Amino acid sequence: MKFHLFQYPLPAPEPLEDVNAFLASRRVASVSHHIVHGAAGSMLVFVVQTVGEAVEKVAKQEKVDYRELMTPEDFQRFSRLRDERKKIAEAEGVPVYAVFTNAQLAQMVQGRCGTMADLMAVDGIGKARVEKHGERLLATLLAAEPAKP
């Protein structure tokens, strides 16, 4: 963690643009402010503790319409996976995206995942989640497969 110091003579200029810009561009752990009296007069002092380096603002991601990107059969599999994800999230008391993202579910469908190793190849899914939910997801994927002639 790093500490950064901002000092302003009182009365402080409004709206303290430099400290506000700094705070908006960093991961901030804490901010404290103090009024310091000295021979040169009173100062407003901010001590900012940051974590890591400056962060870039994340651009808002556009919504993906998976119905347009997938065949009707694949979208049906995707929908079943979303339903299963919702059940898992409700049981665990977490948001659905904390279980799996839509992009991960789509990759499972489009990649035709059929094994635990296939699930681990999906971006952002590790061994722990595969061990915890893999069998359930594979069962859902296999149940959604069309019957073979």
Helix (H, G, I), strand (E, B) or coil at 41: strand
How deeply is 117 buried, as exposed, middle or buried, from its count of CB atoms within 10 A (0-12, 13-18, 19+)?
A: exposed
Report whether 142 contacts 122 (CB < 8 A). no
Helix (H, G, I), strand (E, B) or coil at 121: coil
**pLDDT for position 149:** 46
- Domains annotated on the chain, with CATH: 2-50 (no CATH), 66-143 (1.10.150.80)
Hey, what amino acid is at 64? V
Q: What is the pLDDT along the chain (149 residues), one digit of tens a residue?
A: 788 888 888 887 777 788 888 888 888 888 998 999 888 888 888 899 988 766 555 556 678 899 999 999 999 999 999 999 999 999 989 898 889 999 999 999 999 999 999 999 998 888 888 999 999 999 998 885 654 44
